[in-house]
Amino acid sequence: GQQLNQSPQSMFIQEGEDVSMNCTSSSIFNTWLWYKQDPGEGPVLLIALYKAGELTSNGRLTAQFGITRKDSFLNISASIPSDVGIYFCAGAKYNNNDMRFGAGTRLTVKP
């Protein structure tokens, strides 16, 4: 099905740098979720957002639910090698019958 627009597709950064990625959509979502996928494993939830404007942190990770409800971003501060993986955003709607994933951002961290 139709996916969210997630960018960038990939990032190559140096250890210690900050990272920012985002997801946008042409339609409104009521929930934004951010997942991380390590090689050979399934995605694991990082942060869940349920209100427009909400800013939530999980350690070095911070995510925000855009005011327009059509976007969300994820920031990682002071990256470390174990941050390597694919990060996915997912949006869901109130009617509970529409949920979709972004194409993912592949993050590489050079020590």
Partner 1 sequence: DAGVIQSPRHEVTEMGQEVTLRCKPISGHDYLFWYRQTMMRGLELLIYFNNNVPIDDSGMPEDRFSAKMPNASFSTLKIQPSEPRDSAVYFCASSRTGLRQPQHFGDGTRLSIL
By CB under 8 A, name the binding residues for partner 1.
1, 3, 30-31, 33, 40-45, 48, 50, 88, 92-94, 96-104
What pairing do the DSSP bridges indicate for beta strands 55-58 and 61-65? Answer: antiparallel
Closer residue to partner 1 in complex, CB, 9/68: 9
Closer residue to partner 1 in complex, CB, 14/96: 96
Closer residue to partner 1 in complex, CB, 32/79: 32
Cα(71)–Cα(58) distance, integer angstroms = 19
Residue that is written with structure tokens 């990082």 in the block: 46
